[in-house]
Structure 1
Amino acid sequence: MTIVTQDLPEALYRAAQVRAMDRYAIDTLGIPGWVLMQRAGAAAFQVLCQHWPEARRIAVLCGGGNNGGDGYVVARQALDHGIEATVFALSPPDGLQGDARRAFEAYREAGGRVEAGLPAEREDFDVAVDALLGTGLDREVGGRYADAIGWLQAFAGGVLAVDVPSGLNADSGAVMGCAVRADATVTFIGLKCGLFTGEGPACSGAVWYADLAVPQAVLESQPPTAQLWRRYRNLLPPRRATAHKGHFGHVLVVGGDAGFTGAVRMAAEAAARVGAGLVTVATRASHAAYLNVNRPEIMCHGVETPTELQTLLGRATVVAVGPGLGQSGWARSLLQACCDSGLPMIADADALNLLAQNPKLRENWILTPHPGEAARLLGTTAAEIQQDRFAALAAITAKYGGICVLKGAGTLVGGDGQLAGVCALGNPGMASGGMGDVLTGTLAGLVAQKLPLLQAARMGVCLHAAAADAAAEEGQRGMLAGDLMPWLRRLVNA
C-alpha cells in the first residue's frame, strides 16, 4: 500500500538518482511503470482531498511527459469520486507515449474532457493541479509553459504540485526563470533536495511524501545526497551532580566596534543561554564598561591591540569572532590573532568579509555566511550562490576548510566529508537584525561544551531555528533576535 505522509524521511536525493530508482523498480524488480504512475496519481489525489475536502471542480494542467501522465491519473481519480475535472493540455495528447499515453486514454474513456491551452476563467475552479514539467527541468522555462506557470501564479484557489512545482530546479531549489508557488506538493519515491532549500520551501508549500509502495531495495539502490533535518535534537549529555562551570567551556566573543555593540552582546548572551560555563567579550575599550550592564554574567574587556587579546585567548575554549567586528585595522589585527591562536572558531559577519579578502584554510572552524557573504568568500554574486546552494557549500569548505553553515531558507550545513544537512525548521520572522549573531553565540556555546564541530553545527542550527519557531507563535512580524533567548534555554534543556 502506498503511504502518503508529511512525516518525511531524512534522506534527500538528486532528481537523476530518483529517476534511477524508478528504473531500478521497473527494470530490476519488475514493477510496471504503469502501476507506479497509477500509484503516484492516486497519492496526489489523496493529498488534494486532504487539503481541499470541499473541492468540486478542478483544473489539471498537464505537460507532455510522465508528470503529465500523473496529472491524467489525478483527473481520472477525481471523476471516479464525483469531482468535476478538466485537463488543460500544454502538449497535444496524441503526442504522448508509453504510460503517459495510457493514462490519457484511461481518463478519456472515463468521460474526461481535454482542452488545449489554458482555462479562460480562473474562478471556475476550486483547485488547480500542476502536472506540467516534473524533475527533468534543466533550463529556464519559456513559451507556453511560462504562460501556464503565470496562470497558476495568479490563480486564487488552491494549487497542488505533482512531484515538484514546475519551474523549480529539483536539485538546487533555484527558480528556472519562473516557478509555480504551490500550496502543497506531493513527491514520489525519494525526496528531492531542491524542495527544501533556496526557493524550494516558498514554491513547494506543505510537502507530502509517497513511497509508491516500492520495496526498501529501491531506496537503498542510491546513496543519499543530503539529509533533511525537520526536528531539533539535543546532542548534549546530561550534567553530572558534581559539575562546575569549568566543565562547560569558556567562550570568547570578539567584535563590537563603535556603533555595533548589540551584535557582540547578543552573541555572548546566546552562548551563555545554551550552557557555556563562562563567556567573555573582547570589544572596544570605549564601551566595554557598560556593554554587560543588564547581563552582568558576561565578562567584558576593552581590547585595542592583539597583545591585549592574548591573555583572553589563553583562557578561552572557543572563539566567536565577527559580530559587529567591522573591517578596520583593529578588526583585521584581532581576527589574525584569533586565527593564530589555534583555538576552535566560529566566524561570522565581518570576519567572513575579511577572510574573503585574505583567505585561510583551517579545519577547526565553523563559517556561517549568508548568501551575500558566501558570494564574497567565493568571488561571485549572491544570485549565483542561490542558483546552487549545495555547490556553493562544497566550494566554501574546499577553499576554507572546516564546517560551513550556509544560511537562508533551508540552511545548509556541511563539511568534514559528511553528507550535507538541510534544516527545514525556521520561519520568515527570522529576517531581522541580530539573528545571525544569536546563531554565532549558540554555536560557540555548544562547541565550548565539547561537541564536535559538525555536531555543534547541526544542533546549533536546528536549536536556533526551533527557538525562532517557538518565538514566532506570537507572530512573525516584529520578532526580535532577543526573543529567542528564553527559548534557547528551554530547548537546550529539553
Structure 2
Amino acid sequence: MKHQPLFTNKESKSLDSLAIKELGFHEETLMGMAALSVFHANEDLWKTAESIWILCGTGGNGGDGYALAHILYQEGFPVRCFSTAPNKSEAGKFYEALVSKSLGVTSNLEDFYKEWEEAKEDSVLIVDALLGTGFQGKLSKELVELIETINDSEVFFYRLSLDTASGWDPNSLGKPGETNVFVYADSIEELGTRKWENVGFIYEKDSIIPRYYESIGFPIKTHLNKAIFSNRYYLEPNPESAIQALKRKNKDHKYSAGSAIFYGGETGMEGAILLSENAFLRLGGGISKIFSPSPQICSLVLKEDLSKMTKTSSFSDTTSDPFFIKTKTLVVGPGLTKFPKDLEGWTLPEDKKLILDAGAIPSFGTKLPKGNQILLTPHVGELNRMTGKTHNSVQAAYDTLVDYCPQNNVYVLLKSFVSLLVCPDGSSYIWESPNPKLATMGTGDLLSGILARYLSLDFDIPDSVHLALSFLDHSKQLEEPYPSAHQILKSLVELV
C-alpha cells in the first residue's frame, strides 16, 4: 500500500525541534532549504507574474518568506517584501536582514495598501507567509482586514501559501460564531512534512485546492514511532495494481477466484443489492449468492441470469445456509432501510469479513456485531447518525472515529469528497482524490461490490480499501459527464 505519513501541526513542530536540537541542523539552513524547494517547484509560475509580493509574518513562516524573497531577487524576479512586524526568530531575523540588504528596507502594511491601490488588475502573484501551522487563537482585526483584502482583490491573480493558508482552522468549520477567515490559496506548498490540518482544504464548492509537498531534509523516518507519531497516512493512488489484482489466474476455480454473500434489497429497493453483487461477479468474482427480505428477489435475479443463486430470507437464515460456510466475504446493507435486528450482537466467524453499508449502518446506541474483520462504509450523514455527533470536517470525523473504532473493534471508511479509513489499532488513512463522477445514485452500492471483490482475494481491509478507491478512480476518464452507476461499472469491467 503506497502511503505517506501525515503530521499534525504539533508533530511538525516536534520534528523541527528534533532536527535542530538533536540532529544539529541550523534553523537558517532549514529555512533556506524550504525556500529553495518552493522556488524550484514554482519556476514556471514565477515567470507569469509582473510582480511577486511576499507577505511575511513574525515567526518561522515569515522567515521562509524572507528566504524565498532573497532567492527570487537574486534570480532576477520582480519581488517585493511586506512585513506585519519585525521577525522574532533568530533565523527569521537573519533572512529579514538579508532581504533588507538586497531589496532595501522591508515594507510594512501601510506600504502594502498604498501599492495595492495603485496596482493593475491581475498583475500580482502574492505569497502568503503570514502565520504558518504554529498559529493558534483568533486573528487580530488587522490580519482579518489583510486576509479579506487578499481574497477579494482583483489585483492578485494567484495566491500561494507556504505550509498552510493563513487563518485556516478545520476545527472551527461549521461552528456557531466562528468567522473562518483564511487566505483563499490557489495552492499550498507544504514544507518538510505533509500536514494533517490541511487535509480537505477547500473554499470552492467543487474542488479541493492543490497542495504540494516539498522535502527539506526533515528526519521523517526517525520520527515514526508510537510515542510521537499519531499513525495518520496519506494514500497515494495505485491504479495499475488495482487492475492487476482483479485479473484471474489460470489455476483459479470458482472459490479461489472469490466468493461472497450479499444481503439487502427490501421490496422496491432490490436494485441496490443486485448492483453490488453484479459488480463483484463482473470484476472476476467466482461465486456469490444473494439473500434478501424481498419476496420478489428470486424472480428478479433469475430473470436477469438463470445461473445465479438467490433466496428470500432474514439475515439469520443466511448464516444457516450451506453456502455461508464456504464463503469468505459478506456484504450487508445495500437496499435496506433499517439495521437488521438479528445482526445486533451477532458474532462474525474468524474466517470471514463483513461489510456493513447503507441501511446496515447502525444508529447511535445500536449493538454492533462482533468480529475482527468488520468494515462500516458510511457517508457523512450516516456517520452522524451512527455516532450521535455532527462532523463538519475530516479532522472532526477522525477525532470521533479514533475512539469509536478501537472501542467497537471495527474499521470505518467515511465516504466523502475526502475519504477517511480508521482502523481498530488507531491507524488511519486519507484518500484525497475527489471524483465528482461518483456523486450519483448507486455508486455506494458499486463500491461495496468492489470492496467485496478485493476482500474475497484475501487482501486485508486497509489494502482492499486502497485498491478499491484506486480502481474507482479510473472512472474519472469517462467521457460521459454524469455517468450512471451501471455506466461506471461497464467502463471498469473493460479494464480487466
TM-score, reference length from structure 2? 0.83
- Please give the residue correspondences for 1:284-295 in structure 2 after superposition, counting only pairs within 5 Å: 284-291=294-301, 293-294=303-304
User: Aligned residue for 1:24?
Assistant: 18
User: Shift of the alpha carbon at 1:321?
Assistant: 0.9
Which of 412, 423, 438 matches 1:404? 412
User: Shift of the alpha carbon at 1:306?
Assistant: 4.3
User: Aligned residue for 1:322?
Assistant: 333
- Please say if residues 198 and 409 of structure 1, whose CA atoms lie closer than 8 Å, have aligned partners that are also in contact: no
User: Aligned residue for 1:221?
Assistant: 223
* Structure 1 residues 139 and 345: CA distance shift in structure 2, 3 A: farther
User: Aligned residue for 2:290?
Assistant: 281
Query: What amino acid sits opposite 1:167 in the alignment?
Result: G
1:162 is the counterpart of 2:162: yes
User: Aligned residue for 2:67?
Assistant: 73
- Please say if residues 69 and 100 of structure 1, whose CA atoms lie closer than 8 Å, have aligned partners that are also in contact: yes
User: Shift of the alpha carbon at 1:114?
Assistant: 1.4
- Please give the residue correspondences for 1:248-267 in structure 2 after superposition, counting only pairs within 5 Å: 248-267=257-276
* Counterparts of 1:145 and 1:350, CA distance in 2: 47
* Structure 1 residues 61 and 260: CA distance shift in structure 2, 3 A: farther
User: Shift of the alpha carbon at 1:33?
Assistant: 0.8
* Counterparts of 2:14 and 2:248, CA distance in 1: 47
1:467 is the counterpart of 2:474: yes
User: Aligned residue for 1:103?
Assistant: 95
Which of 27, 37, 49 matches 1:33? 27
* Structure 1 residues 143 and 309: CA distance shift in structure 2, 3 A: same
* Counterparts of 2:423 and 2:379, CA distance in 1: 16
User: Aligned residue for 2:362?
Assistant: 353
Unaligned runs of 5+ in 1: 1-7
- Please say if residues 246 and 454 of structure 2, whose CA atoms lie closer than 8 Å, have aligned partners that are also in contact: no
User: Shift of the alpha carbon at 1:339?
Assistant: 5.6
* Structure 1 residues 297 and 338: CA distance shift in structure 2, 3 A: farther
Query: What amino acid sits opposite 1:149 in the alignment?
Result: I
Aligned residues between the structures: 472
User: Shift of the alpha carbon at 1:57?
Assistant: 0.9
- Please say if residues 318 and 345 of structure 1, whose CA atoms lie closer than 8 Å, have aligned partners that are also in contact: yes
- Please say if residues 411 and 422 of structure 2, whose CA atoms lie closer than 8 Å, have aligned partners that are also in contact: yes
List per-residue Cα deviations over 1:170-190 (Å, max 9, x = no partner).
8x7969823333222221222
Query: What amino acid sits opposite 1:85 in the alignment?
Result: V
* Structure 1 residues 124 and 423: CA distance shift in structure 2, 3 A: closer
User: Shift of the alpha carbon at 1:355?
Assistant: 6.6
User: Shift of the alpha carbon at 1:138?
Assistant: 3.6
User: Aligned residue for 2:423?
Assistant: 415
User: Shift of the alpha carbon at 1:270?
Assistant: 1.9
User: Aligned residue for 2:109?
Assistant: 116
- Please say if residues 272 and 442 of structure 2, whose CA atoms lie closer than 8 Å, have aligned partners that are also in contact: yes
User: Aligned residue for 1:436?
Assistant: 444
* Counterparts of 2:88 and 2:126, CA distance in 1: 21
User: Shift of the alpha carbon at 1:438?
Assistant: 1.3
* Structure 1 residues 271 and 167: CA distance shift in structure 2, 3 A: farther
1:132 is the counterpart of 2:130: yes
Unaligned runs of 5+ in 2: none
Q: Please state whether the residue corresponding to 2:296 is helix, strand or coil.
A: helix
- Please say if residues 271 and 441 of structure 1, whose CA atoms lie closer than 8 Å, have aligned partners that are also in contact: yes
* Structure 1 residues 108 and 158: CA distance shift in structure 2, 3 A: same
User: Aligned residue for 1:478?
Assistant: 482
User: Shift of the alpha carbon at 1:380?
Assistant: 0.8
- Please say if residues 190 and 219 of structure 1, whose CA atoms lie closer than 8 Å, have aligned partners that are also in contact: no
User: Shift of the alpha carbon at 1:365?
Assistant: 0.8
Query: What amino acid sits opposite 2:33 in the alignment?
Result: R
User: Aligned residue for 2:54?
Assistant: 60
CA RMSD of aligned residues (A): 3.4
User: Shift of the alpha carbon at 1:227?
Assistant: 2.3
- Please say if residues 233 and 428 of structure 2, whose CA atoms lie closer than 8 Å, have aligned partners that are also in contact: yes
* Structure 1 residues 155 and 285: CA distance shift in structure 2, 3 A: farther
Q: Please state whether the residue corresponding to 1:363 is helix, strand or coil.
A: coil
- Please say if residues 248 and 450 of structure 1, whose CA atoms lie closer than 8 Å, have aligned partners that are also in contact: no
- Please say if residues 60 and 129 of structure 1, whose CA atoms lie closer than 8 Å, have aligned partners that are also in contact: yes
* Counterparts of 1:272 and 1:204, CA distance in 2: 34
User: Shift of the alpha carbon at 1:59?
Assistant: 2.3
User: Aligned residue for 1:5?
Assistant: none
Q: Please state whether the residue corresponding to 1:393 is helix, strand or coil.
A: helix
- Please say if residues 168 and 182 of structure 2, whose CA atoms lie closer than 8 Å, have aligned partners that are also in contact: yes
* Structure 1 residues 138 and 252: CA distance shift in structure 2, 3 A: farther
Q: Please state whether the residue corresponding to 1:381 is helix, strand or coil.
A: coil
Tell me the percent identity. 21
